Structure 1
Amino acid sequence: MSADPPGFELPLRLFLGFRVLIDELHAELARQGHPDMRPMHGFVLQAIGSRGTTAVELGRRLGISKQAAGKTIDTLEHLGYVERGSDPADARRKIVRLTERGVDSLVRSARIFDDLRAGWAKTLGEERLRALEADLRAVTPTDFFRLDVPGWFGGY
Structure 2
Amino acid sequence: MTADPPGFELPLRLFLGFRVLIDELHAELARQGHPDMRPMHGFVLQAIGSKGTTAVELGRRLGVSKQAAGKTVDTLEQLGYVERGSDPGDARRKIVRLTERGVDSLVRSARIFEDLRAGWARTLGEDRLRALESDLRAVTPEDVFRLDVPGWFGGH
TM over 0.5: yes
Q: Distance between the aligned counterparts of 1:134 and 1:116, measured in 2?
A: 18
Q: How far apart are the structure 1 equivalents of 2:139 and 2:14?
A: 13
For each residue in 1:24-57, what CA deviation from the matched residue of structure 2 results, as whole angstroms up to 9, or x when unmatched?
0000000000000000000000000000000000
Does the aligned pair in 2 maintain the 1:64–1:155 contact within 8 Å? no
Give structure 1 stretches of 5+ with no counterpart: none
Residues in 1 aligned to 2:94 and 2:34: alpha-carbon distance in whole angstroms: 26
The TM-score normalised by the length of structure 1 is: 0.98
1:29–1:108 contact (8 Å) kept in structure 2: yes
1:142 is paired with a residue of what secondary structure? coil
SS of residue matched to 1:64: coil
Task: Map Cα deviations across residues 117-152 of structure 1 (whole Å, 9 max, x no partner).
Answer: 000000000000000000000111111211111110
Matched residue count: 156
- C-alpha change, 1:35 and 1:145, in structure 2 (3 Å) is same
Question: What is the match of residue 81 of structure 2?
Answer: 81
- Establish whether residue 140 from structure 1 lines up as the match of residue 156 from structure 2: no
Q: State the identity %.
A: 92
- Partners of 1:73 and 1:143 in 2: how far apart? 24
What is the CA deviation profile of residues 58-78 of structure 1, one whole-angstrom value per residue up to 9, with x for unaligned ones?
Answer: 000000000000000000000
Task: Report the Cα offset of residue 86 of structure 1.
Answer: 0.1
- CA displacement 1:69-94 (0-9 Å, x = unmatched): 00000000000000000000000000
Aligned partners of 1:108, 1:7: CA distance in 2, in Å?
36
Q: Once structures 1 and 2 are overlaid, which stretch shifts more, 136-145 or 9-18? A: 136-145
In 2, Cα distance between equivalents of 1:144 and 1:23? 20
Q: Any idea what SS the aligned residue of 2:96 has? A: strand
C-alpha change, 1:148 and 1:49, in structure 2 (3 Å) is same
- Tell me, what secondary structure is at the counterpart of 2:51? coil
Quote the residue 1:130 is aligned against.
130
Residue 2 (structure 1) shift: 6.4
Q: Is the 8 A contact 1:87 1:94 kept in 2?
A: yes
Matched residue of 1:115: which SS?
helix
Could you tell me how far apart the structure 1 residues matched to 2:2 and 2:142 are?
Answer: 33
